[in-house]
Amino acid sequence: MDKKAVAEILDEMGTLFEIKGENPFKCRAYHNGARVVEALTQDIAELVKSDRIKEVKGIGPGLAETIKDLVSTGTSKSYESVKSSLPPGLLEMVKIQGLGPKRIKILFEKLKITSIPELKEACEKHRLAQLDGFGEKTEENILKGIELRTRVSDKHLYSAAKESGDEILKLLGRLKEVKRYEVAGSLRRKKEIIGDIDIVVSAEEKNRQKVFKAFVTHPAVESIIGQGETKASVVLNSGINCDMRIVGDAEYAFALNYFTGSKEHNVEMRSRARKVGWSLNEYEFSKIKGEKNVKRPPACKEEQDIYGALGLSYVPPELRENAGEFEAAERDKIPHLIEEKDLKGTFHCHTTASDGSNSLEEMVEAAEKLGWQYLGIADHSKVAVYANGLTPDRVKAQHKEIDRLNSSKKKFWIFKGTEVDILSDGTLDFTDKVLSSFDYVVASIHSKFKMTEAEATARVIRALKNKYVTMLGHPTGRLLLSRDGYPLNLNDVINAASDYGKSIEINAHPLRLDLDWRLVKYAKQKGVKICINPDAHNTDGLSDVRFGVGIARKGWLEPKNVVNCWPVKEVETFFSSIRS
């Protein structure tokens, strides 16, 4: 078991202990242990093998034994014991917006509620209102949370689908019978939420069953839905359905294009083919019967050939949403989209000074290993007590530490930043004097989400007016598949950012991907510069920028539109220009 899986189980154990009403220190130890494991820079298997896991700060003897069992055997007696001591539905209830372990404990003990269906029925019959600390509004909010959970029950985060899809692609890369292969569907288009995984493969007919057998017997496959001559469907152990289609190599480009979609993009492709007398499907171009004076449709080895045959420049998968890409392709105006290799650093990152799991030095070292030229540190401001937010005195101490590190670096620069809370009235958690000491300021909302759209929009715009604010952090506060964002008129917010010369971040954390790609394009049109930030709380989190790059590509962004594609001096100039 790898460190990610171990951390997830430790965190789950902490939640289960909370539901059981165990000692708060014990619960906290498991939650903290999960963060420590997630932030490990050493190989967890080696730490266990050498028995040095118990020497890691934050890992006590009990935790160490649990970790040893999980790494060595994939489970542990303590985990199985606490999991079996409670109805399994209680853990599912934690995923409902507005519910936490303490409230679930009360519902279980007082009303014997053990599952989401039972919870829904209790809310509808107003049984929760009789409990202290609950009421009709609580019932209403829980029902909204259940509705959201039901709505997205068959949906998955892009990051989870990408990880699962990559496992299958590794297999295909090892099979000599496979000529070409690629993921298709919404995963290839880098949508933030994925339904199923689609994979298209090119292989000779005589080899197809061998490829299918390797696919359906892969360790990542939990069950087989069906298998035929050209398609096999399975459920992966991540819970995601995966379809594989195998075609001949002459059909591969057409199949990949068709199954990538989107549906709207495909409809327009077929319409354009008909205008020249051709029919287009997932296998080929063909002449429409009865059409005269129609030139013979070409064979297409690559997707580029399909677009070229229709008089279009190539449309990257991320743009295939029938949202202006055809008009741009007609005029050869498809932008040169940003790539991950264009990034030179990032700005929204946390350290152990607030609620991060790695020190400043460790974060910098990890950024250097990624080949970046700079890193911005933006720990929380003082009102974020839950996140160990920095006081002005602690800010000064951190700045001295950054100055010391910068003086020792020749080809790397650390920017001094903060993630300052936007208070309910739109003012900021630090005074202007403190804000002026930073190189840049990320302004974010972390509290009082339940405002009207007008109130929330005015709140954010007032914050953007502050001369020291550089960028807006996670603009809507959404958590994909679990929490809708607070209500905002984002067009007005983007217009204000444009007027005041401010940046907006694409928060690249897999749970956020916020700013939404549909609005990234509008921000580009308004001249708003974008920062792709991972909101990293440990060294591994830095690499989440790759998910933000996918959203940036869907929003038609080029390197010139993204601040962290610029060299240090240009970044410094941009930060200074905002304040002046």
CATH number at residue 234: 3.30.460.10
Q: Are residues 381 and 260 in the same domain?
A: no
Is 472 a domain residue? Answer: yes
Q: Are residues 178 and 133 in the same domain?
A: no
Local confidence band at 4 (pLDDT 50, 70, 90 cut-offs): confident
What confidence tens digit (pLDDT) does each residue in 384-436 have? 998 999 999 999 999 999 999 999 999 999 999 999 999 999 999 999 999 99
Give how many domains the chain has, as a whole number.
4
Q: Say if CB 97 and CB 145 are below 8 A apart.
A: yes
pLDDT at 147 over 90: no
Distances 95 to 100, 195, 480, 511 between C-alpha atoms, Å = 8, 19, 12, 13
Q: Are residues 184 and 283 in the same domain?
A: no
Q: Any idea what the CATH number is for the domain that residue 518 is in? A: 3.20.20.140
Q: Are residues 212 and 268 in the same domain?
A: no
Q: Any idea what the CATH number is for the domain that residue 130 is in? A: 1.10.150.110
Q: Mean pLDDT, to the nearest integer, of 457-485?
A: 95
Local confidence band at 58 (pLDDT 50, 70, 90 cut-offs): confident
CB atoms within 10 A of CB 484: 15
- End-to-end alpha carbon distance in the chain: 52
According to the model, what pLDDT value does residue 345 have? 98
- Cα atoms in the 13 Å half-sphere on the side-chain side of 568: 11
Domain boundary residue, one of 125, 151, 177 = 151
142-151, 253-262, 529-538, 569-578: least confidently modelled range = 142-151
Is 326 a domain residue? Answer: yes
Local confidence band at 129 (pLDDT 50, 70, 90 cut-offs): confident
Q: Are residues 43 and 134 in the same domain?
A: yes
Q: Mean pLDDT, to the nearest integer, of 521-548?
A: 97
Q: Are residues 291 and 396 in the same domain?
A: no
According to the model, what pLDDT value does residue 397 have? 98
240-244, 282-286, 288-292, 572-576: least confidently modelled range = 288-292
Is 56 a domain residue? Answer: yes
pLDDT at 152 over 80: no
pLDDT at 153 over 80: no
Pairing of strands 413-421, 440-444: parallel
Q: Any idea what the CATH number is for the domain that residue 301 is in? A: 3.30.210.10
Q: Are residues 504 and 368 in the same domain?
A: yes
- Cα atoms in the 13 Å half-sphere on the side-chain side of 67: 32
Pairing of strands 193-194, 156-157: antiparallel
Distance CA(494)–CA(492), nearest Å, equals 5
Q: Are residues 400 and 458 in the same domain?
A: yes
Helix H or strand E encompassing 199: strand 197-203
Pairing of strands 231-236, 221-227: antiparallel
Residue 352 backbone phi and psi in degrees, to 5: -65, -10
Q: Mean pLDDT, to the nearest integer, of 512-538?
A: 97
DSSP letter assigned to residue 195: S
Q: Which two tokens stand for residue 181?
A: 């292969």
Distance CA(61)–CA(509), nearest Å, equals 32
Local confidence band at 171 (pLDDT 50, 70, 90 cut-offs): very high
According to the model, what pLDDT value does residue 300 have? 96
Q: Which two tokens stand for residue 485?
A: 């964002």
Q: Say if CB 94 and CB 100 are below 8 A apart.
A: yes
According to the model, what pLDDT value does residue 244 have? 98
Is 335 a domain residue? Answer: no
According to the model, what pLDDT value does residue 148 have? 82
Domain boundary residue, one of 151, 184, 207 = 151
Domain boundary residue, one of 288, 311, 330 = 330
Q: Are residues 243 and 103 in the same domain?
A: no
* Torsion 450-455-461-463 (CA) sign: negative
pTM of the prediction?
A: 0.86
- Cα atoms in the 13 Å half-sphere on the side-chain side of 453: 7
Q: Is the peptide bond before 357 cis (omega within 30 degrees of 0)?
A: no
Local confidence band at 458 (pLDDT 50, 70, 90 cut-offs): very high
Q: Are residues 146 and 163 in the same domain?
A: no
In Å, the largest CA–CA distance within the chain is 82
Estimate to the nearest angstrom the gap between the alpha carbon of 128 and the chain centroid. Answer: 34
Q: Mean pLDDT, to the nearest integer, of 206-221?
A: 96
Is 490 a domain residue? Answer: yes
Residue 236's closest CA among 221, 225, 224?
A: 221
What confidence tens digit (pLDDT) does each residue in 215-234 have? 999 999 999 999 999 999 99
Residues 6+ apart with CB under 8 A from 29: 14, 60, 62, 63
Is 442 a domain residue? Answer: yes
Q: Mean pLDDT, to the nearest integer, of 292-309?
A: 92
Distance CA(344)–CA(574), nearest Å, equals 15
CB atoms within 10 A of CB 433: 9
CB atoms within 10 A of CB 267: 12
Q: Are residues 569 and 437 in the same domain?
A: yes
Q: Are residues 132 and 210 in the same domain?
A: no
Distance CA(474)–CA(92), nearest Å, equals 26
* Structural domain boundaries enclosing 186: 156-247
Query: 525 or 133: whose pLDDT is higher?
Result: 525
According to the model, what pLDDT value does residue 482 have? 84
Pairing of strands 241-247, 197-203: parallel
Q: Say if CB 491 and CB 522 are below 8 A apart.
A: yes
Q: What's the residue count for the chain?
A: 580
Is 371 a domain residue? Answer: yes
As to burial, measured by CB atoms within 10 angstroms (0-12 exposed, 13-18 middle, 19+ buried), residue 278 is buried
* Torsion 166-356-427-469 (CA) sign: negative
Local confidence band at 40 (pLDDT 50, 70, 90 cut-offs): confident
Residue 556's closest CA among 326, 354, 361, 334?
A: 334
56-65, 167-176, 302-311, 541-550: least confidently modelled range = 56-65
Helix H or strand E encompassing 518: helix 517-525
- Residue tagged 């599952």 (tokens): 115
Q: Which two tokens stand for residue 287?
A: 């002449």
Q: Mean pLDDT, to the nearest integer, of 193-209?
A: 97
